[in-house]
Chains A and B, each alone.
Chain A
């Protein structure tokens, strides 16, 4: 099932619920793409990025891509397309009083940005709530002005996230100059995206290193500067987060989840899960989820 709506200001909302779909040679406005169930694969140039629940992808205006959904369970995908006019109005209307909406300070220079690092961002906290409400109101065919309020907040929250996840984190790199630092951060984002897209596969540091065009030693050292953990620890976190999502929202057995998220040994999984969330997976599913 596809649902599409063009709002009065040319912002667009798109939702698709399916197990199989394929679209080639797509091009769009600046867009935010989230998945609430299942997964969605994007081919952007030579890169392949898979979006799972708990993340979203940003694509800049003019980016060409292919989009595929091949999922065992029903994939529930959602996209916001920000119109040029809306972006201009947003940037123009962003006054100092609106900065109170944000916890972190954001200067006007960041707000004036209209291209962003095309990477996978965490769909957590306020933006997760905002997108879930927006999707509900979209399906309920709510008023355009209400939908627009959510889109406004989605963009505002994305700017906050961008400040935190990209601009702040890139400053942690001990690079010589800004352009080297930006390039290094981009490559580390490729490494992160590769892990987020392939967490359920058997991947090694060498695989991640090859996809990010960094030597294993350089990757290991710089990744730690940005994400405060090694690539392997980051991969474990992704697997555990996805396992938690599956425990909460699916009926898969524990052994199935262990395999689906890329672990090989159930006892190792249980130990790691308990260390991270302070509950065993069974207890989490019964009492917390």
Chain B
């Protein structure tokens, strides 16, 4: 797994886009609820361009957009790897987050989907090795 300090710029540039308004609140949400780590703040005072990193080492780049544009960007798929899908589901459900579906089994492992308060869709995937 990549750590925030290991990042190379290309990964950040190509990071998965997160379309948000209320960017500061969104950043707090991602850090507190999803356990994201802030990797880099932009030079400007705006949060536009902040890069964050999830627990799987995926990088996201925040784009502040209007609420209308947030709604247009909901279909981008963001897969967050987790080591314990049921635990994350339980914690998020307890915190009252929007859960799209319960944990269910797919050929890669166990997954569920959740939304952040801005409508971005996340798939939490616990990858499992079935060859063992």
Contact = CB atoms under 8 A, between A and B. Distances in A.
Interface residues of B, number: 14
Given A100-B104, A126-B110, A133 B86 contact: yes
Contacts, number: 34
Nearest to A145: B90
A146 B128 contact: no
A149 B90 contact: yes
Contacts of B128: 125-126, 129
B130 A146 contact: no
A103 interface: yes
Q: How large is the interface on A (under 10, 10 to 19, 20 to 34, 35 or more residues)?
A: 10 to 19
A103 B102 CA distance: 15
Given A125-B128, A126-B110, A103 B84 contact: no
A100 B126 CA distance: 17
A21 interface: no
29 contacts: A100-B104, A101-B102, A101-B105, A102-B105, A103-B105, A124-B130, A125-B128, A125-B130, A126-B105, A126-B110, A126-B128, A129-B110, A129-B126, A130-B86, A133-B84, A133-B86, A133-B87, A137-B87, A142-B87, A143-B90, A145-B90, A146-B86, A146-B90, A149-B86, A149-B89, A149-B90, A150-B86, A153-B86, A153-B103
7 A-B pairs closest in CB distance = A146-B90, A101-B104, A149-B86, A125-B130, A129-B128, A133-B84, A100-B104
